[in-house]
Structure 1
């Protein structure tokens, strides 16, 4: 009953946000770098931080204890800071330096939440910071077509739910279910040929932050880096697109249309929903293989990530040859 009520509340609040966004003209206008052609409401992903507030409220009202570290307040504070600055960036277009400053604060809180701030060697902390900020921005880069952010997140969260329920308990199950419900509500409005809304920076950043928190808890609990491959498809896409753009001597911080999903939609004329589903299914197959075959990190790279990378490179090469564009 609790989850039905939460889903209903998220649905109502999302519809309320649509009215606010429409009134204050919080929209995404298509340009020559976009993969859409119609003006669409931006910031629909605001329900992800709202989902955490609902989770926090339910934890206080109905659950006296939790599997989360006592520092879970740090996660909430980090998420809210990241969400606020991302929402402001959606409507005001903030400077990169200002955004990175608040990203640094949020990531610091996330690391504290995971309980690794005083455990990891000093030399390793900068690498962790760069990795987390990189994943947050990768999620944002990949939020370019209908359905991809919501569906990809749903796949990862569902995998983590399965592990928590049937393999090893690493967190409060509701800490996974609440973002799942938010993803489903968001998908209801976004997984359409003509999306009602886009996630915006507030959506892509906040759900990425939540996914990273859950992956971090699982890695800390199991001491296995293999689970980081649950975001392997995005990793392949973003890393090798950056390499490509550096090779082309482009500014990697400027908008572009070099991602494979953009080429499939804009050049090959595949539907947004088909491409989003393809990304989700490939990541699901990788996740299932890791769990079923009990692969370690190196095995996961060799048997799953490398073949996926090969297909990715071949697909881009084919599109390049077919459309003569990059």
Structure 2
């Protein structure tokens, strides 16, 4: 089995290198803009390896989770086309909705009470968008996602079995390959929408399986750091009466990288370490206690706000940047 995983790793490495040549030939690149935290033109869409890894798992390991894989293929295809051509929002969102509904069907969610559908839609769509917003500096999406997948693998192996360990390992291998090219001071490639959307789709699928298996919603906290940065940033932008759909550099990680001039890898490492500590607490201590989980999440949110006000200042956060 170890040999098989080594072959997967080598295959993903070769596929990524091949994609670089294709992207370079067809000029699939990321040019710096108002939202960017980078200054050099870089290959876009390296995160396509996540979906290709999932498809490889599907064919090698007995065609598991077919409806989810179909949804992943659709959302990957539309995200890649959007990376290249910038599609109409209605078309893109329609495909996203179809993909999410296919995921729900794979979960068996339609067999439950109807009100779980809108709850799940909010969670899934919110997470996908948060991942897209948070993918702005070298290493952050790759390292954070690798932590999520490894934590889920640990839970699956040692706490409660809820999915295929082979699936988690294959996705982890694709993340290792992507991080090799992205977790650098000068990244060889960026994930692109195709990468951030597809890895979010995968992680949400696994967390959804875990929640449905255990009936424990505390596992949402496995994405606490990303979630807080995304939600708090949107709240501040609403307070400042900004258009939340316009490009911006208002996230805390962007402030650290752009205003404080911290290294991208230091910021990415900081988010990784903080979420790692959260994950350890969830697995070791919080587990099924909703009261402890709610208290912990509230305390973490308060500390996050204190840090943001202390570093960014009230004028920047409440009164606008200036």
Q: What TM-score do the two structures reach when normalised by structure 1? A: 0.93
After superposition, what is the alpha-carbon deviation per residue over 1:191-233, rounded to whole angstroms, capped at 9, x for unaligned? 0000000000000011111101110111111110011110111
- Once structures 1 and 2 are overlaid, which stretch shifts more, 78-87 or 293-302? 293-302
The one of 190, 193, 198 equivalent to 1:206 is 198
Aligned length: 315
Matched, 1:108 2:110: no
Unaligned 5+ runs, structure 1: 61-65
The alignment partner of 2:306 has SS state of helix
Q: CA deviation at 1:318?
A: 2.3
Unpaired stretches in structure 2, ≥5 consecutive residues = none
Verify the 8 A CA contact 1:267 1:323 in the aligned structure 2: no
2:49 to 43, 47, 50: 47
**What is the Cα deviation at residue 322 of structure 1?**
9.6
The answer to whether the 8 Å contact 1:268/1:319 transfers is no
Q: 1:76-109 CA distances to partner (integer Å, 9 max, x unpaired)?
A: 0000000000000101111222211111000000
- Partner in structure 1 of residue 137 of structure 2: 145
Q: Could you tell me how far apart the structure 2 residues matched to 1:323 and 1:129 are?
A: 35
Q: Distance in 1 between matches of 2:87 and 2:311?
A: 35
CA deviation profile, 1:31-57 (whole Å, cap 9, x unmatched): 232100100000000000100111012
The partner residue of 1:10 within 9, 12, 28 is 12
Give the whole-Å Cα distance in 2 for the aligned partners of 1:206 and 1:33.
21
Counterparts of 2:149 and 2:133, CA distance in 1 = 20
Q: d(CA) in 2 for partners of 1:179 and 1:311?
A: 32
Partner of 2:265 in structure 1? 273
Give the CA RMSD over aligned residues.
Answer: 1.5
| Cα separation, 1, equivalents of 2:111 and 2:232 | 33
SS at match of 2:308: helix
Following the alignment from structure 2 to structure 1, what is the Cα–Cα distance between the partners of residues 298 and 257?
24
Query: Is residue 2:305 matched to residue 1:313?
Result: yes
User: Hey, what does 2:157 align to over in structure 1?
Assistant: 165
Who is 1:248 aligned against? 240
Which among 67, 76, 82 is matched to residue 69 of structure 2? 76
Normalised to the residue count of structure 2, the TM-score between the two structures is 0.94
The residue aligned with 1:63 is none
